[in-house]
Chain A
């Protein structure tokens, strides 16, 4: 079955380290998104992509970057992790337009 997977599911890192969260979907969806979820803030958009080589900043993009070298993957990189980036990160994809947004299982990141 087609799906969207994230790895790692849990990670603990130290302040200042670079961290990459992987997102892989097998639906061949053009549109992919990264959200972070924090208590009291809901789901906030970090970065998104509408296709290969396309990336766009979302509401809370500072300190994060993404790259889209193929349709299936949108890795999220924290260049220098900060304690404020402790959160649950969700990757999501949709074929486009007003199609349903499908979420991955989430990655819980703790920055000490």
Chain B
């Protein structure tokens, strides 16, 4: 089955700096890669996703890149703000109607 590794487990950045979180996956048939943000005490919520026919997707200050050959994808947050502080989860799903497999999460702290 699919296995998703996520790094780093914790990340601290100064406000205004960029943050990058990286994930690798094992199943070359995976074709959907979402990122979820979980604020303290809240539920995970989708912030951006990318499909395997696209190499990069951007939404304001966040972007995701996908390298299918290397089987890794990354989340980039630019101009970080204190409200970006949260746990971020990457996930992958292979073709068909299979469940998402999540990475173990990255706790991002943005220091004002």
Size of interface on B: residues with Cβ below 8 Å to A: 23
Stretch at the interface among B13-21, B56-64, B68-76, B93-101: B93-101
Contact across chains for B99 and A42 when beta carbons are under 8 A apart: no
How near does chain A come to B25, taking the closest CB pair, in angstroms?
14
Contact (A97, B43) CB under 8 Å given A41-B104, A42-B105: no
B11-43 vs A: 1/0 string, CB under 8 Å?
000000000000000000001101010000011
Some 22 contacts from A to B, beta carbons below 8 A apart, are A33-B99, A42-B6, A42-B89, A42-B102, A42-B105, A43-B89, A43-B105, A44-B102, A45-B99, A90-B44, A96-B97, A97-B97, A98-B49, A98-B51, A98-B93, A101-B34, A101-B100, A103-B44, A103-B45, A104-B43, A105-B42, A106-B43
B interface with A by C-beta (< 8 Å): 6, 9, 31-32, 34, 36, 42-46, 49, 51, 89, 93, 97, 99-105
